[in-house]
Amino acid sequence: EAGVAQSPRYKIIEKRQSVAFWCNPISGHATLYWYQQILGQGPKLLIQFQNNGVVDDSQLPKDRFSAERLKGVDSTLKIQPAKLEDSAVYLCASTDGRFEAFFGQGTRLTVV
């Protein structure tokens, strides 16, 4: 069974630029999460989807972050414009309805 796929693995951008991350969850997993992990900290939930609907985006900085899962499968997370403090690893995870979430390898973003 293929795992959660994320791309790109690494991205370096200048502040005020925009960036997008892509995630393909495990086949059949209805729930998809985007987490932000700052160096030295645990993952922090940004947004949770159930199929193509948003379940929780209470910690998503909506003035600059957006996410979509139009067909209930793949998802994209966008930052526009990026700030220095957005430097982090962005993790995508999915689950089939249980709490056990499976994670991708993450995208490491560096904003300079």
DSSP assigned state of 108? E
- Return the residue of 16, 44, 62, 83 that touches other proteins, per CB under 8 A: 44
Per-residue tokens: 59: 């910690």
Does 4 bind other proteins (CB under 8 A)? Our answer is: yes
Nearer to other proteins, 22 or 102 (CB): 102
CB-side neighbour CA atoms (13 Å) of 112: 5
Q: Which residues contact 80 (CB under 8 A, 6 or more apart)?
A: 18, 19, 64, 66
Does 95 bind other proteins (CB under 8 A)? Our answer is: yes
Does 102 bind other proteins (CB under 8 A)? Our answer is: yes
Q: What is the contact surface with other proteins in residues (CB under 8 A)?
A: 4, 31, 33, 35, 41-45, 48, 50, 55-56, 91, 93, 95, 97-106, 108
